[in-house]
């Protein structure tokens, strides 16, 4: 079998600390190869070597393409050798068309004085047709869905006809039906002979799509598993170094009967269209209850949480502990005892120009200030308390958050939300982009908060997560509640059926 790409004893250190040690990886022609491991396992470091971000000379070991040693000095050099990369975050230029996005940076401007947009659209149409991606090359990217934007990024990576396509968490921003559309494209690419590296924290996706899996832990390769030997439990055990008996912890207590949150006929207007993005939503949540919010991307899940948090204008009534609230801003919501964890960790969550300490205390300085001055010692102690209680892996409260793993970054945002001691917590995709072990910690934290009487509303694109974790689930479709079920009554099939067959207009 042809080895399209292989590494031999790859190693990489940062400030003398090993991030990768003696990693051997072999990619066969025309396979989808899973690369899995918890945050900090070394996946990102390995990918940055393979894509030229960490240039030759900054690491030890050997990289070979078609059996010949290569030395990538830059990402451009890696692309020239047939290695393409699609990052986790959707990166498109919204002001440009689909065709312009596909060929951005490679239109031949360095040799020609003018770009032929007719030729650009023709080449884009050919590529999209070959991939069976139903997109108009002239369409503005700003009007596309999350799935369509993800497909644009994959098509962009394929404009250079790469031998190896590396996909970093390609479904992180997609819901179930959208994920299947993406998988159909990847199946066609595999059939055409494209070799892919599929990086994911979602083990069911490995089971569904991949031919082999390499597992990294603490910078080392700890397992290589053939498809015939795939088992969800076995892959998870290799990732964490031990057996995980229960993915979703069981709750020993029941929620209270006191009503904490009530929504009556809440609607959120669409910013540009006459139809509301959230329509006439009414429900209650009780003290210590975990309420899941299910639905596809665009169903109104984030808009629902944002309205409750005062971040979106809305009509209708939102009451906390029986008292109607005027929630015109997040500050109003925090004063009412409501906190929110954003879905967009890097875009609207972390403050990359501030240290870990300030990222935890941002928005929570009222209790740490006197006479307009921040008590830095008190701030330091508060940050240390959360670092210990949430087991955030960082050298100190002064650490740069950009250099921490996704799981630790998520814990920092959870610490910020918890510091306000909320009565109601709104969690938008709380386990997005985190590893199995961190997920377990977040699940246990959610149950612990519920046991302490906090009411939690949890949005997740992973239906199994909501079914396994929540006391009750609401299903949204097209901005309206179309189904509701309690623990033990729901299933992934029920949610999918409700979201795909509901008539909401």
Name the band, by pLDDT with cuts 50, 70 and 90, for residue 247.
Answer: low
Name the band, by pLDDT with cuts 50, 70 and 90, for residue 111.
Answer: very low
pLDDT digits (tens, 9 = 90+) for 432-441: 878 777 888 8
Contact yes or no for 58/48 (Cβ under 8 A): no
The top-scoring range by mean pLDDT among 40-44, 191-195, 235-239, 306-310 is 306-310
For 15-144, list the strands marked E by DSSP: 17-28, 32-36, 60-65, 68-70, 83-86
| Predicted local confidence at residue 143, as pLDDT | 85
From-to residues of CATH 3.40.50.300 in the chain: 3-240, 246-337+423-505
Q: What would the CATH number be for the domain defined by 3-240?
A: 3.40.50.300
The top-scoring range by mean pLDDT among 42-51, 166-175, 400-409 is 42-51
Q: What would the CATH number be for the domain defined by 246-337+423-505?
A: 3.40.50.300
Contact yes or no for 445/262 (Cβ under 8 A): no
Mean pLDDT, residues 389-401: 87
pLDDT top residue among 467 and 39: 467
Q: Which residues pair with 36 in a beta bridge?
A: 215
User: Distances in Å between the alpha carbon of 194 and those of 165, 189, 225?
Assistant: 7, 5, 20
pLDDT digits (tens, 9 = 90+) for 255-284: 888 999 999 999 999 876 777 889 999 999
| Predicted local confidence at residue 170, as pLDDT | 84
Q: What is the pTM of this model?
A: 0.62
How would DSSP label each residue in 221-287? EEEEEEGGG--HHHHHHHHHTS--S-SSPPP-S---SSEEEEEEEEEE--SSSSS-SEEEEEEEEET
């Amino acid at each position: 079998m042809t080895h399209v790409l292989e590494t031999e004893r790859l190693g990489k250190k940062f400030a003398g600390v090993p991030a990768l040690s003696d990693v051997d990886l072999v990619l066969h022609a025309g396979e989808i190869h899973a690369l899995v491991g918890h945050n900090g396992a070394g996946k990102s470091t390995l990918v940055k070597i393979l894509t030229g971000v960490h240039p030759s000379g900054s690491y030890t070991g050997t990289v070979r393409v078609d059996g010949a040693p290569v030395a990538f000095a830059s990402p451009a050099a890696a692309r020239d050798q047939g290695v393409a990369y699609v990052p986790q975050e959707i990166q498109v230029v919204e002001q440009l068309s689909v065709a312009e996005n596909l060929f951005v940076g490679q239109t031949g401007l360095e040799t020609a004085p003018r770009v032929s947009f007719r030729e650009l659209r023709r080449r884009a149409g050919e590529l999209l047709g070959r991939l069976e991606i139903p997109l108009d090359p002239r369409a503005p990217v700003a009007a596309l869905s999350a799935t369509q934007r993800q497909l644009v990024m994959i098509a962009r990576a394929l404009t250079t006809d790469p031998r190896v396509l590396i996909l970093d968490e390609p479904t992180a921003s997609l819901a179930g039906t959208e994920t299947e559309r993406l998988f159909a494209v990847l199946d066609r690419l595999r059939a055409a002979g494209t070799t892919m590296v599929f990086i994911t924290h979602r083990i069911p996706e490995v089971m569904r799509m991949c031919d082999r899996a390499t597992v990294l832990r603490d910078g080392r390769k700890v397992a290589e598993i053939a498809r015939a030997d795939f088992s969800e439990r076995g892959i998870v055990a290799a990732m964490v170094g031990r057996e995980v008996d229960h993915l979703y912890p069981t709750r020993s207590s029941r929620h209270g009967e006191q009503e904490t949150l009530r929504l009556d006929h809440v609607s959120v207007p669409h910013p540009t269209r006459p139809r509301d993005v959230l329509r006439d939503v009414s429900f209650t949540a009780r003290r210590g209850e975990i309420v899941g919010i299910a639905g596809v991307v665009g169903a109104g899940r984030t808009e629902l949480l944002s309205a409750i948090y005062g971040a979106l204008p809305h009509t209708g009534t939102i009451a906390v502990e029986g008292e109607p609230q005027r929630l015109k801003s997040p500050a109003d919501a925090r004063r009412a005892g409501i906190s929110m964890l954003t879905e967009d960790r890097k875009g609207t969550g972390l403050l990359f120009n501030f240290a870990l300490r300030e990222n935890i205390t941002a928005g929570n300085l009222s209790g740490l200030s006197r006479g307009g001055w921040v008590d830095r010692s008190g701030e330091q102690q508060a940050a240390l308390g959360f670092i210990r209680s949430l087991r955030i892996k960082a050298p100190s409260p002064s650490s740069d958050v950009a250099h921490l793993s996704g799981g630790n970054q998520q814990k920092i945002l959870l610490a910020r939300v918890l510091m306000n001691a909320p009565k109601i917590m709104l969690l938008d995709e709380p386990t997005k982009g985190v590893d199995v072990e961190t997920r377990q910690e977040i699940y246990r934290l959610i149950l612990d908060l519920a046991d302490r009487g906090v009411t939690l509303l949890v949005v997740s694109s992973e239906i199994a997560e909501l079914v396994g974790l929540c006391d009750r689930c609401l299903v949204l479709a097209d901005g309206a509640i179309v189904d509701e079920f309690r623990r033990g009554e729901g299933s992934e099939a029920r949610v999918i059926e409700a979201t795909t067959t509901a008539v909401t207009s």
